[in-house]
Amino acid sequence: MGSAVRTALIKLCEFLLTALLVSFFTFAAFAIIPGDTARVMLGPEASEEQVEALREELGLNEPLAERYFDWLGNAFRGDFGNSLSFGNPVGDLIASRLPVTLGMSLIALIFVVAVSFPMAAVCSRNPGSIKDKSLSTAGHILFAIPPFALSMMLILFFSKVLHIFTAGRYTAPSDNFGAYLVSLLLPSLCIALPKVAMTFKFLRASMIEFSQGDFVRTAKSHGLSDLRIMLKHIIPNSAVSSVTVISLVLSDIMGGSLIVEQVFNLPGLGRLLLSAISRRDFPLLSGIVFYLAMMTVLLYFLADVISAMIDPRIRDGRAA
């Protein structure tokens, strides 16, 4: 118990330090970007007196360190100020777009797990077989196709050939939850397919390694079936690497969703981010970047904690 608590505290300290560094670099990146926020808000026709008065009101004349700590305190309360282009609180704008981005990410993750694990289990039983080579080749092809290209191909196939999908049609979950899920299925599939290939590759290698262990030969000598050996021995022993891979895949999924949203014309964080960039909306831009960075850091933190809970060697510092 002591080692588990110590490991959790160490991971928590690492998480807090990483979060602090992420917040600093996020703030610093937008603080040093050329351009006057007050001038952007007031427009090119505003006088210097008006611009200077607004700079004073927004605290832009304060020292950089003081501005950072003010921004940091507000950021961890979810207050990123108001958007320059929309006029609404940044937190409200991000929250309004989360159902799209998070919904796509979760559906894609479910698809990745549901497909990659059975594929890896099948291929690891007979490495080098025709089935293994065929699935591995298909995985390499999927991994090589960029998400935006795959999105366009699937849109053409499902909308022009099968006539069962219309790109850009989105239903909010509050209006019709079933239609909301249906509207996100094809975009989520476009995100998931390359990630299936990546996850399958890692899981296959891990399962093949464990299937050659002494404990598997012992289990076979005791008459256990291949299915029971897979479920009771190989998959549980692959759990640590699986957690790590899935955390990497999920953070990659969230990044890929920003691109796919543009192709499918979905009102998610990706479109909001592009809008903030094009309008030089620094409060909105820094809020979105900070949120996405913190989500990634949180995923890695949870993966470390779960891995330590699963594998005692990690808790005791005996495994890398």
Q: Which pLDDT tens digits describe the chain residue by residue (320 residues)?
A: 456 677 778 878 888 888 888 888 878 777 766 666 666 666 667 777 777 777 776 667 777 788 888 888 888 787 888 887 788 888 889 888 888 888 888 898 898 888 888 888 888 777 778 888 888 888 888 878 877 788 888 888 887 777 777 766 788 888 888 888 888 888 888 888 888 888 888 888 887 777 776 666 777 777 776 667 776 767 766 766 777 777 778 777 877 777 788 888 888 888 888 888 777 777 888 888 888 888 888 887 887 777 777 665 555 555 44
Q: Alpha-carbon distance 131 to 12, whole Å?
A: 44
CA distance readout (Å), 236 to 80, 199, 233: 43, 16, 6
Q: What CATH number has the domain spanning 97-279?
A: 1.10.3720.10
**Nearest Cα to Cα of residue 91 among 287, 237, 277, 230:** 287
Beta bridge partners of 89: 82
Is pTM, for the whole model, over 0.85?
no
Question: For residue 267, which amino acid is it?
Answer: P
Q: Give residues with Cβ within 8 angstroms of 277, minimum separation 6.
A: 285
Check: CB of residue 308 under 8 Å from CB of residue 29: no
**What pLDDT score was predicted for residue 33?**
64
Report the 3 state secondary structure along the chain: CHHHHHHHHHHHHHHHHHHHHHHHHHHHHHHCCCCCHHHHHHCCCCCHHHHHHHHHHHCCCCCHHHHHHHHHHHHCCCCCCECCCCCCEHHHHHHHHHHHHHHHHHHHHHHHHHHHHHHHHHHHHCCCCHHHHHHHHHHHHHHHCCHHHHHHHHHHHHHHHCCCCCCCCCCCCCCCHHHHHHHHHHHHHHHHHHHHHHHHHHHHHHHHHHHCCHHHHHHHHCCCCHHHHHHHHHHHHCHHHHHHHHHHHHHHHHHHHHHHHHHHCCCCHHHHHHHHHHCCCHHHHHHHHHHHHHHHHHHHHHHHHHHHHHCHHHHCCCCC
Q: Alpha-carbon distance 159 to 156, whole Å?
A: 5
Q: Give residues with Cβ within 8 angstroms of 251, minimum separation 6.
A: 295, 296, 299, 300
Q: Mind listing the pLDDT tens digit for each residue in 104-137?
A: 888 988 988 888 888 888 887 777 788 888 888 8
Q: Give residues with Cβ within 8 angstroms of 41, minimum separation 6.
A: 54, 84
